Structure 1
Amino acid sequence: RLRGMLTPEFTVRRIRRLEPAIQELIDDHLDEMEAEGPHADLQGLFADPVGGGVLCELLGIPRDDRAEFIRRIRRNVDISRGFKARAADSAAFNRYLDSLITRQRKDPDEGFIGMLVREHGENVTDEELKGLCTALLLGGVETVAGMIGFGVLALLDEPEQKDLVFEGPENVDRVVAELLRYLSPVQQPNPRMAIRDVVVDGKLIKAGDYVLCSILMANRDEALTPNPNVLDAKRASVSDVAFGHG
């Protein structure tokens, strides 16, 4: 049911509405980097604020709240911090989402939460809205920021691939697609349960068995593409699973 509610919110037309705001966000942070001179912090000045800022724009989080909101998210997923500290940030994060959803119920805007409230009303509960927001934010902020940073590093390590970007904008999509396959930003194996008996590589996995699925290893499978451990944006298009499947 929730997937059915979400799908219309991610149409190309709706996402394109965000393009001007996203472009403005990117331009602002590129200007900040340029102002720093020849040595600038890509991660701190661009990747982190852009990665989180785009999701905040999607959800309709006010700009004045974003820096603190993103900071809370990052602290919440930082496993180097103690449990009590992370729990406190998680509680503050949830309180903010509660207040945001309350405001959107009263006066829905054009953001993701506002659209769901307008179109589904009481058919979507506050807890469901909070759960959807949490999944998007916790799953998207760090992965996008990390992908930008590691993507730039990978291109700097492979000058031929970097040069493709500057040869023409028509190459950008291919380079990004290959970086997603090669880096696979979501690398934490997620447990899955088999719903029926299945044989994988000669091994029987019985219904009810749990398996750990590695997106990185799937995208580096030699059955998928030749020389999978090489970054090559000129390779034939492949059906990778950087964003999962289905």
Structure 2
Amino acid sequence: MHQENFARLWSVFGLLLITAACSVVERGTNASSSQIPSAFVRQKENPSHKGSIRAIDFRNFTYPWVVELVDPAKPNETFTLRNGERPETRDERGFVNEMGIFLQNISYADVTGDGEEEAIIVLSVLTGGSAIPHCVYIYTLQDDNPKLLWAFSTGDRADGGLRCVYADRGELVVELYGRGRVVGKQAKSLEDQIGLCCPKFFTRTRYRWQGRAFQQVGEAVTLPQNHGSPLVTCP
């Protein structure tokens, strides 16, 4: 199923290791889902925010699978978070049968340039292998209902893993670990793929909303990484 899709993307197996630091919560594959807090959630949704994206409870919400995780036999399949998580399922030996999805970060900012806030949602994925990917969802509010603008997955730690996603002057900025790492594009450099634990660079890419989709603005910029841990380090 979905786990097989990730296996094809990263094809790395072993114990899942994530060290709790800053905003990322790392865990082993035998950890209970109840031990994985929804860290880095900046603001809770409030029903009193009528007419605002903040009124939507993204901790208890049904999401579409990102393209990389879609089961070809079930292209319209969705998953639902309850209290910020969709726990993994395990077999009798404790190995993951079906991936777990956990809310890691919700932030609100204008990324379309219309002066209204959008929700930027980061979900972490427990794959059952050693890969540590994330899924990012950008939602706006249209007629008091959430509307998905963009959803994408990121790579594994130094190999295109998520560093940060945020708004800047009405544009969306995505930072991925590694040299030349851009969402949906094949990296030209392989130098960072040797040590997934210790990225030496990250790549910053800006996107502008064009009415129907986000389009890249200018060239992606690769910058040195000041510390060696592949953490989500949003400002």
Q: Do the structures match in fold with TM over 0.5?
A: no
Instruction: Determine which structure has the larger strand proportion and give its number.
Output: 2
What interval of TM-score do these two structures reach, taking the shorter chain for normalisation? under 0.3
Q: Report the TM-score when normalising by structure 2.
A: 0.27
Q: Report the TM-score when normalising by structure 1.
A: 0.26
Which of the two has higher C-alpha Rg?
A: 1
Instruction: Determine which structure has the larger helix proportion and give its number.
Output: 1
